[in-house]
Structure formats: C-alpha cells, structure tokens
C-alpha cells in the first residue's frame, strides 16, 4: 500500500509544478498508463502523450496559472480528494475557479487517474 505521506507529496508536487509551469516535473507525477478527465464529462486523456497535450492546451489559454489549495484534502489508501483554486492570469487580469480533484495512485505514489470536478461557468475575477 502506498503511504499517505507519499500521496500528499505527489499532490503537492503536482500543484507546485503546474503553478511553476514546469511541464516535465508535472508529467513526472503521473504513471505511464495514467488517464485524466478534466473537466469531468469530457473525453479521457489516456497515456502520458495525451496528458502532455492537455498541458500544452491548458497552458496555451493563459499567461500563467497558479493552483492554490483550499484546505480540504482526504487521503485514504490509493485515493485522494482535495479542493483547490485555479488562478489563471490573462491579459493582466487574474481569475479564480474552484475545483475538486479526485485521484488514484500507484504503489510508487504516481497518479494513475485524475478527475477534475468544476463548472467552467463559475470562472470569475479573483478577489485578491
């Protein structure tokens, strides 16, 4: 069984790498056979090449993106759910989008699956 501390370290690395625009470090958080569904209801991106393409698409939409934890994180065995806020900056304006991520992890603590729950229509100017 994967250790809770390992899962927490992967989540922290995932958020830090995404915020730092470190594509290689972010992709290193995923298992080779991982898939993501972001947002939930869209087609799954299966495998590292498809996940890398997702990175390229999402980082091409804004000048930068910061992921901020919102305080709720539950890790049980190989699964975790946590809240965060994506804060994309576009044209000098920063926006906010609240997200709940659900992930599963392999024995090494790498992400096997990721599902992002959010409503794109709730994107709003950030208040701070």
Active site residues: 14, 38
**Maximum alpha-carbon separation in the chain:** 45
Other Cβ atoms within 10 Å of 2 Cβ, number: 18
* Residue among 22, 6, 114, 117 nearest 70 (CA): 117
Q: Which single residue is written with the structure tokens 């599902």?
A: 115
Q: Are strands 79-90 and 30-37 parallel, antiparallel or unpaired?
A: unpaired
| Beta-bridge partner residues of 3 | none
d(CA 117, CA 102): 8
Distance separating alpha carbons of residues 111 and 73, to the nearest angstrom: 15
């Amino acid at each position: 069984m994967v250790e809770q501390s390992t899962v927490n370290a992967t989540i922290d690395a995932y958020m830090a790498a995404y915020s730092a625009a470190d594509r290689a470090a972010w992709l290193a958080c995923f298992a080779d056979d991982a898939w993501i569904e972001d947002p939930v209801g869209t087609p799954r991106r299966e495998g590292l090449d498809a996940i890398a393409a997702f990175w390229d698409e999402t980082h091409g939409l804004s000048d930068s993106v910061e992921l901020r934890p919102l305080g709720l994180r539950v890790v049980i065995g190989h699964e975790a759910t946590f809240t965060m806020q994506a804060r994309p900056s576009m044209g000098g304006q920063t926006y906010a989008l609240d997200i709940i991520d659900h992930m599963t992890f392999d024995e090494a603590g790498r992400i096997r699956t990721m599902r992002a729950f959010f409503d794109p229509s709730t994107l709003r100017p950030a208040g701070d």
